[in-house]
Structure 1
């Protein structure tokens, strides 16, 4: 690691290497997150499990994925970033591999609900926020945009591939492929991801070479760290606005479209590969949209950016039920607007969290905000499946998701309106 750091010195800052490794970790996590949507229909056919039963496992997964955020950020402070990520990746590889042997619904709930939900929560958005906070003093928005775009790239890379594997070889080969991906990334994390710039004798990106080096390590119990930050955050109105808006973000992306879109396409006669290809195209557009969002968040009012993102997403979702009725322009038009906006909300939300809560508390508070994101995703995954079972269509669930986005677009304009931050926050 030190040899690579010495080679990069004078060429570019090692922060970009750390960013690249983190991008790959989050890419594998995104592939893991995409897998259940490809497996939903095959599991129905193989075991006769209802869509509501499978959606329950996914809702547990999504909820734990988010709830792990603040505790994983606290664990990174207490035990070290690299060690925490290595343990999570190893758990993912083993659990996903074992899921190829499952026969009962409790095994689905245990592996894809509990274990994968917890482990993937360590290697997702909270990891990105922590790495950006530790390594970058400048261009934080751009860096977070690049990392967030890894979820879009994960869809782009994995969804068509996994859908094709399901079609030709079955769902068990899919889980073995994803498990292998998690295992392959382990040595890269061990060899190339240091704890922080100070570990290599470097300043943060954008800081002068003689800037004082701080560690911000916390020797408290991670649970105490996480709940201490939550206790301070709950006294601030902006936390609840961020939490609710990200709840809506999760409900309208990972939880609803990410979980049910391929099955929704099947209701209209579109194959799994066709539905996965549409999602992958939206992932490619989101790679552009989210990276651009990070660049914009360094330069413009983040509340206004969030207003446009949520508003346009809401309109796109309200349009979606009608999109299937247009032979050519329907779904491409939806995919264009929704794809550019898929997770463009993340960089402005991270920036606002840093502005309100300060450098020490921000990663953990953002972890709690991500918990709101995934609770929204869990609700949408479960409710979407239940409404589809009872009504035979996704139309009502789609309209509800779009309406929530329009409400969030109004509320985000109230975030961080005050000039001063309460003294205890981030202390």
Structure 2
């Protein structure tokens, strides 16, 4: 196919790949949200402590992030289609076995280890790889859309899982999740493509049809070598540090414990799940807009405002829990707009500093910091709830941590130009 023919094409197949990736990330996010619905049922059925259940979720969150850099290498070596299909298959098997478990260590194995690794293969790094591979223009928008899939997954699945758990038991929620995974597996198997070259197209915004670069590095050593390279750059530490606080204040704390915190104040699981779903709706809007903004404005200042506003909302949450339902709705809207809006600016800053070739794996390590923060909050909040009988102290702590992240985002500007030049020379 020549350049003139490519220009005449009205439809770019990359948008099909974006849609399939969106669905895959949506399903992965929906599955990762399920444990927040299971905390109270597992306490009642098995007698496990809140901290014990939280430890399983904490391990899953950490491994979800840790596998990211290696997932980036696998995506380059084996292609998007094979990696996603393998991850979906492993996830479906682990969830199918879940209703048979009888002890906490089995829950740890199935959800902490296997589910964490499988969903980690379908995390933010997948969206970054798709945007870098298929698009030259509109990358920020694509990253925003794919990042928002996590919110959409929560929006679609959390109320459904909560309703099924409330009326029929948690096992029916798990079986429903398995059925959704199978549908996603079939769609990816039929329509997913690895590279624009596979359909005779150029990346969006380019006119040159090029063959994909063959990944020749070691699947396990290449990510570690990339980490070693990134650690010499102070911008990497600022990006990783802000993302640690991002994970601490989002999926680790609110995503894991908000339903249980609402339960402590007499709110039913279905209603609390509805609040998280509402956050997902507004995060879909906020993160998509954030992607658009990151194509047009300074990403460092975007991060400053995102973290600062999130901190204010978390300081407001303990008051909202003890006040009227309207206050919780207000929190859900305000917090939801900011939930994952930090991802597109962070991705852009990573690409600007380290270049297209290293961006995927380096962002994967930034995500490791995010999930380490989330893991810390997921377990720490459970321990503090068992110890103090309330989540309020943890919410306030997270709010002030976000203010620190906002100040760190400004420091990225003080070091970025110098570090970008050094990275390019290296």
Task: Tell me how far 1:10 sits from its aligned partner.
Answer: 2.1
Cα-to-partner distance string for 1:302-341 (whole Å, 9 max, x where unaligned) = 0000000000000100110001233253112211210100
Structure 1 residues 116, 295: closer, same or farther in 2, change over 3 A? same
Aligned equivalent of 2:127: 128
Q: Deviations over 1:97-146 (max 9, x none)?
A: 11111111110000000000000001011100110110110011111111
Residue of structure 1 aligned with 2:354, choices 346, 352, 357: 357
- 2:59 alignment partner in structure 1: 60
Equivalence for 1:333: 330
Instruction: Name the residue aligned to 1:138.
Output: 137
For 1:274, which of 244, 266, 271 is the aligned residue? 271
Report the TM-score, using the length of structure 1 for normalisation: 0.96
Q: Which residue of 2 aligns with 1:299?
A: 296
Aligned to 1:105: 104
Match of residue 387, structure 2, among 390, 394, 410: 390
User: For residues 292 and 40 of structure 2, what CA distance do their matches in structure 1 show?
Assistant: 38
**Contact 1:216-1:360 within 8 A present in 2 as well:** no
**2:12 maps to 1:13:** yes
d(CA) in 1 for partners of 2:231, 2:6? 45
TM-superposed deviation, 1:213: 1.2
Q: Is the 8 A contact 1:360 1:426 kept in 2?
A: no
CA contact (8 A) 2:197 2:209 kept: no
Give 1:415's aligned residue. 412
Deviation, structure 1 residue 82: 1.3
Tell me how far apart the structure 1 counterparts of residues 317 and 11 of structure 2 sit (CA, whole Å). Answer: 44
More deviation, 17-26/330-339: 330-339
- Aligned match of 1:91: 90
Change (3 A) 1:323 1:360: same
Give secondary structure in 1 for the equivalent of 2:202: coil
Q: 1:310 maps to what in 2?
A: 307
Tell me, what secondary structure is at the counterpart of 2:213? coil
Map 1:152-301 to 2 at 5 A. Answer: 152-208=151-207, 211=208, 213-301=210-298
Structure 1 unaligned residues grouped into runs of 5+: none
1:152-205 deviation per Cα after TM superposition (whole angstroms, max 9, x unaligned): 111110011000000011111111111121111112112211111112221111
Matches of 2:424 and 2:176 in 1, distance apart? 44
* SS at structure 1 position matched to 2:205: coil
Counterpart-to-counterpart distance in 2, 1:275 and 1:8:
49
Deviation at 1:214, TM superposition (A): 4.4
State the partner residue of 1:48. 47
Instruction: State how 1:367-406 maps to structure 2 within 5 Å.
Output: 367-406=364-403
Question: Any unmatched runs of 5+ in structure 2?
Answer: none
**How many angstroms does 1:424 deviate by?**
4.8
Cα displacement (A) at 1:423: 4.7
Partners of 1:232 and 1:425 within 8 A in 2: no
Deviation per residue, 1:211-235 (Å, 9 max, x gap): 2514233122211111111111111
1:72 corresponds in structure 2 to 71
| Structure 1 contact 73–127 (Cα < 8 Å) conserved | yes
| Corresponding residue pairs, total | 421
Contact residue 358 and residue 426 of structure 1 kept, 8 A: no
Q: Could you list the per-position Cα deviations for residues 16-46 of structure 1 after superposition, in whole angstroms to 9, with x for gaps in the alignment?
A: 1110000000000110111000011001001
